[in-house]
Amino acid sequence: GESVGLHLPTLSVQEGDNSIINCAYSNSASDYFIWYKQESGKGPQFIIDIRSNMDKRQGQRVTVLLNKTVKHLSLQIAATQPGDSAVYFCAENISGAGSYQLTFGKGTKLSVIP
């Protein structure tokens, strides 16, 4: 099956609320994880990353949590704004010699209700 998957395909939140987007991965060898945001008509945009030796990383209004025990990754967006409406992808990297390949989840569509 797919190595990286998302629990919910769609998520609707009220403007100003916090959003939580979840992601499950199955490969325990994965050691690097990235969240991307993709707006309509654009390519994926890097949001935040985390390495497997960490369990939490914070950015501007975003926090990524990594739980290696249950192979779970989440993206928290604080004070969600209409501009946050997009599809969010988690991606994992399994370190290999001399190459770089990301495995992406299917994506979660976040809709922000004004």
Partner 1 sequence: KAGVTQTPRYLIKTRGQQVTLSCSPISGHRSVSWYQQTPGQGLQFLFEYFSETQRNKGNFPGRFSGRQFSNSRSEMNVSTLELGDSALYLCASSVGQGLNEKLFFGSGTQLSVL
Instruction: Assess 7 for contact with partner 1 (CB under 8 A).
Output: no
* Member of 16, 26, 51, 113 binding partner 1 (CB under 8 A): 51
State the SS3 of 22-56.
Answer: EEEECCCCCCEEEEEEECCCCCCEEEEEEECCCCE
Decide the pairing of beta strands 108-113 and 10-14: parallel
- Quote the tokens at residue 22: 């979840």
* Member of 3, 22, 76, 103 binding partner 1 (CB under 8 A): 103
Q: Compose the 25-44 pattern: x for residues touching partner 1 by CB under 8 A, - for all others.
A: ------xx-x-x----xxxx
- Quote the tokens at residue 18: 């916090």
Interacting residue ranges for partner 1, rule: CB under 8 A:
31-32, 34, 36, 41-46, 49, 51, 89, 91, 93, 95-96, 98-107
